[in-house]
Amino acid sequence: MIRILDIAFKDLLQLLRDFKTFMFLLIMPILFTFLFGYAFGGFGGGGDSRLPVGYLSQDNHWVTDSLHELLSESELISLNENVFLSQADLEQRVADGDLAAVIIVPDGYGRAMLKNKSARLIVIADSDSSAWTSIEAELLKISSRLDSAVRTATIIERLDAERMPFDYAFEQSLAAWKDPPIAVTETKSPAVEKTSDSGAALAHTAPGMMLQFAIAGLLTAAQIIVTERKSRTLQRLLTTSTRRIDVALGHFLAIFLLIFTQFLILITFGQLALKVDYLREPAAIALVAFSAALCISSLGLLIGIIAQSEEQAISFSLIPMFVFSGLGGAWVPLEFTGETFRAIGHVSPVAWGMDGFENIVARGLGFDSVLLPAAALMGYALLFFSIAVWRLYAAEEK
C-alpha cells in the first residue's frame, strides 16, 4: 500500500507542476461552459418572452382603459407603447419584424361597447406568421371578456340599480374572470421549474464541458507514464519488489484524485456561479462524479500504458475526447437526435455520465435515477483498467 501511495504522490507532484494540467482541468471547461451557455441561451437573462405588440389608442374612454389593463396583464403579448409613433410608424415596425402586431383602438370604441353596438379593434399583423394565430386568439379572449362584463353589468343594473350600480357590477364581472370556478393547475418538478429558462442550457452545458475536459486532462497524465517508460524508470522500478499491479494502481490513484478534485471544484463553481442545482441531490451527484472519475482515470491509465511516445499520448487523449464527447451528447443533447443515434451514443461513457448529471440537475429525478449510469461508468472503468493491467504485464514481459 505504501508503494502505491508513493507512486501516486510522485505523479501528483509532477502533474501539479504543469500549467497545462490546470488549464485543461479548470480553465478550459469554465471558458467553454460560458461559450456554449451563450450559444444555447444559457445567459439570456430570463427576459420577457411575450410577443411584442404595438398599441395605439384613439379613444379616451374608461372602457378603453379597462381594455388596456386587460391587455397589459396578458401572459402572451407585451404592449409596446410609444406616444411619439404614428400609425404609419407602427405599421412599418410590423413590416420590419420589430413588432408581431399593432392594436389600434378607434375613436368611439368605448361608447359603442356601452351602447351594445358593434365595437371593432383595428389590428395590423402578418396573417401568414406563426405568431398571428396566438395573438388573434388572445385578442378574441380579452375582447369577449370585456364585452361580457359590459353586458352582465347592464343586465344587473336594470334589475337592481340601487344595490348593484353599473360600475360596481362591471368591476366584479371582470374580477370574476381572474378567479374562474374551474382552473387547470400544472405541476412541475422543482428541478424543471428551476431550469426552465436560462438554466436549462447550463444544466446540460456545465456537465458536458466538465466531462469533456476531464478526458482532455488525461493528456498530461498519460505523458507522465510515457516519460517514465522512456527514461526506463518504470523498468528499474519493476526490478524491485514493487509488483506491476501496484504500479498500475499508483498511477491510477494519482489520475483519479486529480479528476475527482476537478469534478468537485467545477461542481462547486457550477452551483455557486452558474446556479446549476447540483446539490439538490448531493449524494446522487457525488456517486456520478465518483463513477465518472473512476472511468476516466482508467482510460487515462490505459492511454499512458499503450502510448509509445508523447505524440501518441496526445493523439490517444484528444481523439477519445472528441469522439466520446460528440457521441455522448456533451455538445448537443441526445434528446434532440433520433433513437438510432441515441443508442449509438450510449456506447460512449460520456453519455452515461451526462445521463447521471442531467437526471438530477435537468430532469428533476431522484437518487435511484443515477444507479444505472453509475453502474455503466463503473463497468467501463473495470474494462479500461483490466486492459491497462494486461497491457502492462504483456509489455514488460517482452
Query: Mind listing the pLDDT tens digit for each residue in 359-397?
Result: 999 888 899 999 999 999 999 999 999 999 998 888 655
Q: Is the pLDDT of residue 357 over 60?
A: yes
pLDDT above 70 as % of the chain: 85
Which range, 13-27, 52-66, 375-389, is most confident? 375-389
The Cα 300–Cα 306 span in angstroms is 10
pTM above 0.85, yes or no: no
The Cα 370–Cα 286 span in angstroms is 10
Please report which residue ranges of the chain form alpha helices under DSSP H: 2-17, 19-22, 28-39, 62-72, 87-96, 109-114, 130-159, 166-178, 190-194, 199-216, 218-230, 233-238, 244-272, 282-306, 310-328, 339-345, 349-361, 371-396
Q: Is the pLDDT of residue 151 over 80?
A: yes
Reading the block at residue 19, the C-alpha cell is: 500549467
Give per-residue pLDDT as tens, 160-195: 777 778 877 778 777 776 665 555 555 554 444 444
CATH for 51-191? 3.40.190.10
Residues 57-80: what's their mean pLDDT?
87
8 Å CB contact between 51 and 25: no
pLDDT for the residue numbered 137? 87
Where are the domain boundaries for CATH 3.40.190.10 in the chain? Answer: 51-191
pLDDT above 90 as % of the chain: 20
Buried b (16+ CB within 10 A) or exposed e, 161-178: eeebeeeebbeebbeeee
Give per-residue pLDDT as tens, 207-217: 988 898 888 77
The Cα 221–Cα 10 span in angstroms is 12
Which range, 51-55, 145-149, 280-284, is most confident? 280-284
pLDDT for the residue numbered 352? 96
Residues 199-206: what's their mean pLDDT?
76
Q: Is the pLDDT of residue 36 over 80?
A: no
Q: Is the pLDDT of residue 60 over 80?
A: yes
Q: Which residue has the higher pLDDT, 294 or 226?
A: 294
pLDDT for the residue numbered 347? 94
The Cα 4–Cα 246 span in angstroms is 5
The Cα 109–Cα 121 span in angstroms is 8
Among the ranges given (221-225, 307-311, 333-337), the one the predictor scored with the smallest mean pLDDT: 221-225
